[in-house]
Amino acid sequence: MTVWAVIPVKPLNRAKSRLEKVLSPEQRHDLATMMFRQVLSVTTATPQITGTMVISRDTRAIGIAREFGAKTIQESSYSDLNPALERATGVIRAWRAGAMLILPADLPFITAADLAAVVNRGHDISSIVIATDHHRNGTNVLLVRPPGLIGYAYGPGSFERHLAMAAQVRAQVSLYESEQTLLDIDEPDDLEQYNLRVESGHYEYLKPFLSLTT
């Protein structure tokens, strides 16, 4: 089965706005860029992933994606996430891909083992594999087989909405959870966990960040 990873990326210079009380604009830009590079490095090196596509309206993000050999779709300045993913789905279906794996660019500790496990769980011909965040609110990983089996409902509460959409089409649903998939970096408390993990591990593209309040 061919599986394409899709990474939607917000403009890097406006990323992580919820961290504005603890990180400067330059720090938030650097953090978003490093996490994006780390996610790209994992998806492009995972054997179970056929290829990686990045969709963004940020020309800088598009350039970084191409450095890693990813395919790209550049969106207009008025594009929203869910319609953008629908467009990416249309492209991937035209390529006759068997499945589509959607990942955010702020999931810095995702591993090749996580991605392989998600792909392996999507063995049914009509499958949804989903991983939520530590609040059980958002959708941090979503495998859809075949591409286009369900629509997209990203935003607050998307985890339950995606489960409901999967039930409507009677898809085989598998929930996936690991320490890596639970932690996306959005809030100041997430940044504390981020720093602890970076300081205790070895990551090619990640470094700790000192808070402005430190």
Over residues 163-177, the pLDDT tens digits come to 999 999 999 999 999
* pLDDT at residue 203 in the model: 92
* pLDDT at residue 76 in the model: 79
Token pair in block for residue 135: 């609040």
Task: Note whether residue 211 is domain-resident.
Answer: no
Task: Note whether residue 207 is domain-resident.
Answer: no
CA distances from residue 68 to 192, 203, 214 in whole angstroms, order as listed:
28, 16, 35
Least confident among 42-46, 76-80, 105-109 = 76-80
Above 90 in pLDDT, residue 31? yes
Q: How far apart are CA 104 and CA 38, in angstroms?
A: 11
Span between the terminal Cα atoms of the chain, in Å: 48
* Band (210; pLDDT cuts 50, 70, 90): confident
Range of the domain at 55: 3-200
Number of domain units in the chain: 1
- Average confidence (pLDDT) over 199-206: 92
Close Cβ partners of 201 (under 8 Å, ≥ 6 residues apart):
none
Task: Note whether residue 214 is domain-resident.
Answer: no
**Pseudo-torsion of CA 28, 104, 154, 58, nearest 10°?**
60
Task: Note whether residue 206 is domain-resident.
Answer: no
Task: Note whether residue 205 is domain-resident.
Answer: no
DSSP-based three-state secondary structure for 101: strand
* pLDDT at residue 212 in the model: 61
- Average confidence (pLDDT) over 190-196: 92
CATH number at residue 175: 3.90.550.10
* Band (50; pLDDT cuts 50, 70, 90): very high
Give the Cβ contact number of residue 21 at 10 Å.
9
Please, is 78 exposed, middle or buried when counting C-beta atoms within 10 Å of its C-beta (0-12, 13-18, 19+)? exposed
Task: Note whether residue 213 is domain-resident.
Answer: no
Task: Note whether residue 84 is domain-resident.
Answer: yes
